[in-house]
Structures are given as structure tokens and as C-alpha cells.
A = this chain, B = another copy of it.
Amino acid sequence: MHAREMAEDFPVIGLDSDAWEAVTLLAEHRLPGLVVTEPPDGRPHSILPASQVVRMLVPSYVQDDPSLAGVLSESMADRVADKLRGKTVRSLVRDDRPELAVVNHDDTIVEVAAVMARLQCPLAAVLENEVLVGVITASRLLQVALGR
């Protein structure tokens, strides 16, 4: 079986899309992360993990002094919306982000596993003729390996 057959649809978002859209996608579909694509041709750029976006919920004075977390009372949703107003996905992607695993459509299961294991990346973007055709998560790869 080749990567193309293992690949599944996975929500992607553009680097210049609205940051609010990324956060609501993660929350509503309960996703561990999104694949971020780059204009103009939609090549995969990076992964935006939900655990990174969570940082936005923490005001900087709490990051400095965690004991202040208990005294907060305003609405979280309002605070998140305020923080994201006018921002793009680009502003959420960190410079020290993990490298995105990218594989070819005709790679075998061992080739995909080798890339994913080397980068410790929970998903691999599958490219065919430079176009993103789907994503393989680590658990999908285990499922294929076990023949389930």
C-alpha cells in the first residue's frame, strides 16, 4: 500500500487565513492540530498544534506569575476574540515549530514510518505533483500496519 491510499482528508488552513477561523476549527472539530498551507499554491507549510494555540488563553502576567491565574474572572471567549482580532494564522505559527513530515504519494508504509519517527511528528502530509492530497496520522499508520 502506498501513501496515497493511506492518506485521509484533514482540515487545512492557509497562512493568511483569519486566526479566529483556525481556533474555531480546532475547538469545534476537537482536532489535535491543523495543517497550515502556504500561498499561492497551497504547499504544506507547518503544523499548528492545538497545544500551542492554548498559550493564547494565558495572559502574559500569568505566564510570569502563575499564582495570579486564580483571580481572573472575565469571559474567556471575549478574551480570545479580542486577542485574535485582525490577526492571521501566520501570527499563531511559532518560529520554533516542529518540522512537518512530508512524504510522496508513492512512498511505502516503512518510508512514511521512517520520516514520521525521525521527526517525531504525529502526522505526515502526502504530496503528489507538489499538491497536498491528504494526511497520514501516526495512529492511521499503525492501523494500516496491523491490517485493521
Q: Which residues of A contact B (CB under 8 A)?
A: 23-24, 26-32, 49-55, 57-59, 62-63, 66, 69-70, 72, 75-77, 80, 108-111, 113-114, 116-118, 120-122, 137-148
Contact partner of A143 among B27, B62, B145, CB < 8 A? Answer: B27
**In angstroms, how far is the closest chain B Cβ from the Cβ of A7?**
14
Residue pair A70, B108 in contact (C-beta under 8 Å):
yes
CB proximity of A32 to chain B, nearest CB, Å: 5
Interface of chain A, main secondary structure: helix
Query: Which has the most chain B C-beta neighbours within 10 Å: A30, A63, A80?
Result: A30
Q: Is A138 a contact partner of B50 (Cβ separation < 8 A)? A: yes
Q: How far is the CA of A23 from the CA of B62 in the complex (A)?
A: 38
Q: A113 to B53, alpha carbons, bound, how many Å?
A: 10
Q: Quickly give the copy total for this chain.
A: 2
18 extra interface residue pairs, beta carbon distance < 8 Å, beyond A24-B146, A29-B139, A30-B140: A26-B139, A27-B146, A28-B143, A30-B139, A32-B32, A32-B122, A49-B122, A50-B139, A51-B116, A51-B121, A54-B141, A57-B110, A58-B110, A59-B110, A63-B118, A72-B110, A76-B145, A77-B147
A120 to B146, CA, bound (A): 30
Residues of B within 8 A of A59 (CB): 110
Q: CB distance B76 to A111 under 8 Å?
A: no
The residue that A142 contacts in the complex, of B53, B62, B118, B138, with Cβ under 8 A, is B53
